[in-house]
Amino acid sequence: MSRQERLGATVVGSATEFVVTSGVAERIELVLFDLEGSATDHLDLVARPDGTWAARVEGVGAGQHYGFRVHGPGRPSKGHACDPAKLLVDPAARRVQGDLHWNRELVTPGVDSAPLVPRSVVVEAPASGEVSAPLLRTPWDRTVVYEAHVGHLTARHPGVALEQRGRYGGLAAPAVLEHLVDLGVTAVEVLPVQQFVSEAGLVAAGRRNVWGYNPLAWGAPHAAYATPGGDPTAELRAAVAALHGAGIEVWLDVVFNHTCEGSLGFGPILSWRGFDNAEAYRLIAGPHGLVDDELTGCGNAIDTSSPTMRRG
Protein backbone atom coordinates (compact mmCIF):
# COMPACT_ATOMS: atom_id res chain seq x y z
CA MET A 1 0.00 0.00 0.00
CA SER A 2 1.50 3.34 -0.99
CA ARG A 3 1.60 6.28 1.33
CA GLN A 4 -1.27 7.89 -0.61
CA GLU A 5 -3.39 4.77 -0.06
CA ARG A 6 -3.11 4.75 3.72
CA LEU A 7 -6.44 4.96 5.46
CA GLY A 8 -7.04 8.01 7.58
CA ALA A 9 -5.49 11.45 7.14
CA THR A 10 -1.99 11.56 5.67
CA VAL A 11 -0.01 14.77 5.23
CA VAL A 12 1.54 14.86 1.76
CA GLY A 13 3.56 18.00 1.13
CA SER A 14 1.30 21.03 1.40
CA ALA A 15 -1.88 18.95 1.47
CA THR A 16 -3.58 16.21 3.42
CA GLU A 17 -5.14 13.17 1.81
CA PHE A 18 -8.19 11.74 3.57
CA VAL A 19 -9.11 8.11 2.80
CA VAL A 20 -11.95 6.09 4.34
CA THR A 21 -13.85 2.96 3.32
CA SER A 22 -17.53 2.20 2.83
CA GLY A 23 -19.25 -0.28 0.60
CA VAL A 24 -22.74 1.20 1.12
CA ALA A 25 -22.23 4.97 1.18
CA GLU A 26 -23.93 7.08 -1.47
CA ARG A 27 -21.99 10.22 -0.50
CA ILE A 28 -19.36 11.02 2.13
CA GLU A 29 -18.67 14.53 3.35
CA LEU A 30 -15.42 15.62 4.98
CA VAL A 31 -16.09 18.35 7.53
CA LEU A 32 -13.24 20.60 8.67
CA PHE A 33 -13.42 22.38 12.02
CA ASP A 34 -11.60 25.25 13.68
CA LEU A 35 -10.15 24.86 17.17
CA GLU A 36 -13.33 26.26 18.73
CA GLY A 37 -15.35 23.42 17.20
CA SER A 38 -17.13 25.32 14.42
CA ALA A 39 -17.33 23.80 10.96
CA THR A 40 -15.30 25.78 8.43
CA ASP A 41 -15.66 23.68 5.29
CA HIS A 42 -17.54 20.73 3.80
CA LEU A 43 -15.97 18.71 0.99
CA ASP A 44 -17.23 15.64 -0.84
CA LEU A 45 -14.95 12.62 -1.05
CA VAL A 46 -14.61 10.78 -4.34
CA ALA A 47 -15.62 7.12 -4.56
CA ARG A 48 -13.01 4.69 -5.89
CA PRO A 49 -13.53 1.23 -7.43
CA ASP A 50 -11.87 -0.49 -4.45
CA GLY A 51 -14.47 0.76 -1.95
CA THR A 52 -12.38 3.62 -0.63
CA TRP A 53 -13.42 7.26 -0.70
CA ALA A 54 -10.78 9.98 -0.86
CA ALA A 55 -10.11 13.71 -1.01
CA ARG A 56 -6.84 15.59 -1.25
CA VAL A 57 -7.14 19.00 0.42
CA GLU A 58 -4.50 21.62 -0.23
CA GLY A 59 -3.48 23.90 2.61
CA VAL A 60 -4.54 21.44 5.30
CA GLY A 61 -1.88 19.98 7.57
CA ALA A 62 -1.10 18.65 11.03
CA GLY A 63 -3.42 19.88 13.75
CA GLN A 64 -6.50 20.19 11.53
CA HIS A 65 -9.68 18.97 13.23
CA TYR A 66 -12.12 17.01 11.09
CA GLY A 67 -14.96 14.49 10.94
CA PHE A 68 -17.17 12.76 8.39
CA ARG A 69 -20.85 12.59 7.49
CA VAL A 70 -21.99 9.54 5.54
CA HIS A 71 -25.10 9.50 3.35
CA GLY A 72 -26.46 6.04 2.71
CA PRO A 73 -28.90 3.38 3.93
CA GLY A 74 -30.07 3.78 7.51
CA ARG A 75 -32.10 0.63 8.04
CA PRO A 76 -30.92 -1.26 11.16
CA SER A 77 -33.16 -4.23 10.32
CA LYS A 78 -31.09 -4.60 7.14
CA GLY A 79 -27.82 -4.11 9.02
CA HIS A 80 -27.23 -0.50 7.96
CA ALA A 81 -26.93 2.63 10.10
CA CYS A 82 -25.79 5.48 7.84
CA ASP A 83 -27.06 8.85 9.05
CA PRO A 84 -25.55 12.09 7.71
CA ALA A 85 -26.70 13.87 10.86
CA LYS A 86 -24.09 11.94 12.82
CA LEU A 87 -20.55 13.34 12.78
CA LEU A 88 -18.19 10.38 12.61
CA VAL A 89 -14.71 9.88 14.01
CA ASP A 90 -12.26 8.65 11.38
CA PRO A 91 -11.86 4.88 11.99
CA ALA A 92 -8.15 5.32 11.18
CA ALA A 93 -7.70 8.55 13.16
CA ARG A 94 -4.23 8.93 14.65
CA ARG A 95 -5.39 11.51 17.16
CA VAL A 96 -8.77 12.26 18.73
CA GLN A 97 -9.54 15.40 20.70
CA GLY A 98 -12.57 16.28 22.77
CA ASP A 99 -15.04 14.38 24.91
CA LEU A 100 -18.02 12.21 24.12
CA HIS A 101 -21.17 13.62 25.76
CA TRP A 102 -23.73 10.89 26.23
CA ASN A 103 -27.16 12.05 25.14
CA ARG A 104 -30.06 10.37 23.38
CA GLU A 105 -29.33 12.56 20.34
CA LEU A 106 -26.41 10.19 19.70
CA VAL A 107 -28.89 7.46 18.81
CA THR A 108 -31.83 9.54 17.56
CA PRO A 109 -32.04 9.36 13.75
CA GLY A 110 -31.66 12.66 11.94
CA VAL A 111 -30.44 14.68 14.95
CA ASP A 112 -27.05 16.38 14.61
CA SER A 113 -24.45 14.83 16.91
CA ALA A 114 -21.61 17.29 16.21
CA PRO A 115 -21.93 19.13 19.57
CA LEU A 116 -21.65 15.81 21.42
CA VAL A 117 -18.72 13.99 19.83
CA PRO A 118 -14.92 14.42 19.66
CA ARG A 119 -13.00 15.43 16.56
CA SER A 120 -10.36 13.54 14.61
CA VAL A 121 -7.06 15.42 14.26
CA VAL A 122 -4.54 15.31 11.42
CA VAL A 123 -1.13 14.10 12.64
CA GLU A 124 2.20 14.65 10.93
CA ALA A 125 3.96 11.39 10.08
CA PRO A 126 7.26 10.73 11.92
CA ALA A 127 10.31 12.06 10.18
CA SER A 128 12.14 9.52 8.03
CA GLY A 129 14.35 7.40 10.25
CA GLU A 130 12.57 8.45 13.44
CA VAL A 131 12.24 5.25 15.45
CA SER A 132 12.12 4.49 19.14
CA ALA A 133 15.00 1.99 18.99
CA PRO A 134 15.87 -1.26 17.23
CA LEU A 135 13.65 -4.16 18.27
CA LEU A 136 15.10 -5.77 21.38
CA ARG A 137 13.86 -9.33 20.74
CA THR A 138 14.52 -10.66 24.23
CA PRO A 139 14.51 -14.49 24.18
CA TRP A 140 11.37 -15.99 25.70
CA ASP A 141 13.31 -17.86 28.38
CA ARG A 142 14.67 -14.54 29.64
CA THR A 143 11.49 -12.50 29.29
CA VAL A 144 10.04 -10.94 32.44
CA VAL A 145 6.79 -9.04 31.82
CA TYR A 146 5.41 -6.22 33.97
CA GLU A 147 1.77 -5.26 33.32
CA ALA A 148 1.26 -1.52 33.67
CA HIS A 149 -1.68 0.88 33.54
CA VAL A 150 -0.53 4.31 32.38
CA GLY A 151 -3.11 6.11 34.49
CA HIS A 152 -2.35 4.23 37.71
CA LEU A 153 1.30 3.27 37.62
CA THR A 154 2.54 6.68 38.71
CA ALA A 155 -0.63 8.47 39.88
CA ARG A 156 0.80 8.81 43.43
CA HIS A 157 4.46 8.11 42.78
CA PRO A 158 6.57 10.53 44.87
CA GLY A 159 9.55 10.06 42.55
CA VAL A 160 7.63 11.27 39.49
CA ALA A 161 7.05 14.94 38.72
CA LEU A 162 3.50 15.95 39.58
CA GLU A 163 2.64 16.94 36.00
CA GLN A 164 3.75 13.53 34.72
CA ARG A 165 1.90 11.36 37.22
CA GLY A 166 -0.70 9.12 35.61
CA ARG A 167 0.50 10.13 32.15
CA TYR A 168 2.77 8.90 29.35
CA GLY A 169 5.64 10.91 30.80
CA GLY A 170 5.32 9.09 34.11
CA LEU A 171 5.57 5.73 32.39
CA ALA A 172 9.15 6.57 31.40
CA ALA A 173 10.18 8.73 34.35
CA PRO A 174 13.74 7.98 35.59
CA ALA A 175 12.46 6.64 38.93
CA VAL A 176 10.12 4.22 37.16
CA LEU A 177 12.74 3.04 34.69
CA GLU A 178 15.23 2.44 37.49
CA HIS A 179 12.65 0.44 39.45
CA LEU A 180 11.78 -1.73 36.44
CA VAL A 181 15.44 -2.40 35.63
CA ASP A 182 16.15 -3.28 39.27
CA LEU A 183 13.29 -5.79 39.15
CA GLY A 184 14.80 -7.42 36.08
CA VAL A 185 11.82 -6.52 33.88
CA THR A 186 12.46 -7.01 30.16
CA ALA A 187 9.01 -6.04 28.82
CA VAL A 188 6.20 -3.74 29.93
CA GLU A 189 2.73 -4.79 28.82
CA VAL A 190 0.75 -1.55 28.68
CA LEU A 191 -2.99 -1.79 29.23
CA PRO A 192 -5.05 -0.16 26.44
CA VAL A 193 -3.71 3.23 25.38
CA GLN A 194 -5.91 3.51 22.30
CA GLN A 195 -8.53 6.28 22.50
CA PHE A 196 -11.42 4.96 24.56
CA VAL A 197 -14.57 6.35 26.15
CA SER A 198 -16.59 5.64 29.26
CA GLU A 199 -19.82 3.71 28.86
CA ALA A 200 -23.11 5.60 29.20
CA GLY A 201 -24.10 3.69 32.34
CA LEU A 202 -20.85 4.56 34.08
CA VAL A 203 -21.15 8.23 33.16
CA ALA A 204 -24.75 8.34 34.42
CA ALA A 205 -23.54 6.95 37.75
CA GLY A 206 -20.78 9.55 38.01
CA ARG A 207 -18.06 7.03 37.26
CA ARG A 208 -15.68 6.40 34.37
CA ASN A 209 -14.04 3.59 32.49
CA VAL A 210 -10.61 2.96 34.00
CA TRP A 211 -9.10 0.01 32.16
CA GLY A 212 -9.66 1.27 28.62
CA TYR A 213 -11.44 -1.75 27.14
CA ASN A 214 -14.01 0.38 25.27
CA PRO A 215 -12.20 1.62 22.15
CA LEU A 216 -13.20 4.51 19.91
CA ALA A 217 -10.09 4.79 17.72
CA TRP A 218 -7.46 2.04 17.55
CA GLY A 219 -4.78 4.21 15.97
CA ALA A 220 -5.03 7.18 18.31
CA PRO A 221 -3.16 7.26 21.64
CA HIS A 222 -5.57 8.04 24.49
CA ALA A 223 -5.53 11.81 24.89
CA ALA A 224 -6.24 11.82 28.64
CA TYR A 225 -2.85 10.23 29.31
CA ALA A 226 -1.02 13.16 27.73
CA THR A 227 -0.22 16.38 29.54
CA PRO A 228 -3.00 19.00 29.22
CA GLY A 229 -2.64 20.57 25.80
CA GLY A 230 0.13 18.13 24.90
CA ASP A 231 0.49 15.83 21.91
CA PRO A 232 -0.48 12.27 22.96
CA THR A 233 1.25 10.74 19.93
CA ALA A 234 4.57 12.46 20.61
CA GLU A 235 4.40 11.75 24.34
CA LEU A 236 3.66 8.05 23.85
CA ARG A 237 6.49 7.77 21.33
CA ALA A 238 8.84 9.44 23.81
CA ALA A 239 7.80 7.02 26.57
CA VAL A 240 8.35 4.00 24.32
CA ALA A 241 11.75 5.34 23.26
CA ALA A 242 12.79 5.78 26.90
CA LEU A 243 11.72 2.25 27.81
CA HIS A 244 13.55 0.86 24.79
CA GLY A 245 16.60 2.87 25.80
CA ALA A 246 16.51 1.11 29.17
CA GLY A 247 16.43 -2.29 27.43
CA ILE A 248 12.71 -2.83 28.05
CA GLU A 249 10.32 -3.95 25.32
CA VAL A 250 6.84 -2.41 25.13
CA TRP A 251 3.84 -4.63 24.49
CA LEU A 252 0.44 -3.06 23.80
CA ASP A 253 -2.82 -4.58 25.02
CA VAL A 254 -5.24 -3.82 22.17
CA VAL A 255 -9.00 -4.44 22.15
CA PHE A 256 -9.89 -5.72 18.69
CA ASN A 257 -13.01 -7.77 19.46
CA HIS A 258 -15.53 -4.95 20.00
CA THR A 259 -15.92 -1.16 20.06
CA CYS A 260 -17.71 1.47 22.11
CA GLU A 261 -20.65 1.66 19.68
CA GLY A 262 -22.74 -0.98 21.46
CA SER A 263 -25.69 -2.71 19.81
CA LEU A 264 -27.15 -1.89 16.39
CA GLY A 265 -30.25 0.27 16.77
CA PHE A 266 -29.48 1.09 20.41
CA GLY A 267 -25.85 2.15 20.62
CA PRO A 268 -24.48 5.43 19.31
CA ILE A 269 -23.35 6.05 15.74
CA LEU A 270 -19.81 7.29 16.32
CA SER A 271 -17.52 5.81 13.69
CA TRP A 272 -17.50 2.34 12.09
CA ARG A 273 -21.27 1.93 12.41
CA GLY A 274 -21.99 5.07 10.43
CA PHE A 275 -19.59 4.18 7.60
CA ASP A 276 -20.64 0.58 6.97
CA ASN A 277 -22.14 -1.28 9.91
CA ALA A 278 -22.69 -4.55 8.04
CA GLU A 279 -19.02 -4.65 7.05
CA ALA A 280 -17.77 -3.79 10.53
CA TYR A 281 -19.78 -6.02 12.88
CA ARG A 282 -20.96 -9.63 13.05
CA LEU A 283 -24.71 -9.80 12.37
CA ILE A 284 -27.27 -12.60 12.58
CA ALA A 285 -30.96 -12.89 11.79
CA GLY A 286 -33.32 -11.84 14.57
CA PRO A 287 -37.12 -11.96 14.82
CA HIS A 288 -37.47 -8.54 13.11
CA GLY A 289 -34.35 -8.36 10.96
CA LEU A 290 -30.61 -8.38 11.47
CA VAL A 291 -29.15 -7.97 14.97
CA ASP A 292 -25.68 -8.12 16.45
CA ASP A 293 -24.09 -11.53 16.89
CA GLU A 294 -23.34 -10.64 20.48
CA LEU A 295 -20.22 -12.62 21.43
CA THR A 296 -18.43 -10.10 23.63
CA GLY A 297 -20.88 -8.93 26.27
CA CYS A 298 -20.34 -5.39 25.00
CA GLY A 299 -23.14 -5.12 22.45
CA ASN A 300 -21.20 -5.79 19.29
CA ALA A 301 -18.48 -8.01 17.89
CA ILE A 302 -16.01 -7.04 15.19
CA ASP A 303 -16.34 -9.08 12.01
CA THR A 304 -12.76 -10.29 11.70
CA SER A 305 -13.56 -11.90 8.34
CA SER A 306 -14.17 -8.45 6.88
CA PRO A 307 -11.31 -7.25 4.62
CA THR A 308 -12.19 -3.68 5.59
CA MET A 309 -11.78 -4.33 9.30
CA ARG A 310 -8.59 -6.34 8.84
CA ARG A 311 -7.13 -3.55 6.74
CA GLY A 312 -8.20 -0.82 9.18
pLDDT tens for each residue of 30-81: 999 999 999 999 999 999 999 999 999 999 999 999 999 999 999 999 999 9
| Overall average pLDDT of the 244-265 stretch | 96
End-to-end CA distance of the chain: 12
Q: Which of 164, 158, 16 is nearest to 90 (CA)?
A: 16
How confident is the model over 161-170, as pLDDT tens digits? 999 999 999 9
| Overall average pLDDT of the 249-274 stretch | 96
Least confident interval from 106-120, 127-141, 249-263, 278-292: 127-141
| Overall average pLDDT of the 17-21 stretch | 97
Spell out the domains of the chain, with CATH numbers in brackets. 3-125+268-311 (2.60.40.10), 140-252 (3.20.20.80)
pTM: 0.93
Looking at every residue in the chain, the average pLDDT score rounds to: 94
Rounded to a whole number, what is the largest CA-CA distance in the chain? Answer: 60
pLDDT attached to residue 130: 58
| Overall average pLDDT of the 210-232 stretch | 96
pLDDT score of 134 more than 80: no
| Overall average pLDDT of the 243-266 stretch | 96
| Overall average pLDDT of the 283-302 stretch | 94
* 14/39 Cα distance (integer angstroms): 21
Give the β-pairing of 96-97 and 119-121.
antiparallel
The confidence band for 311, taking pLDDT boundaries of 50, 70 and 90, is confident
pLDDT attached to residue 3: 43
The confidence band for 310, taking pLDDT boundaries of 50, 70 and 90, is confident
CB neighbour list of residue 42: distance below 8 Å, 6 or more residues apart: 29, 30, 31, 32
pLDDT attached to residue 135: 81
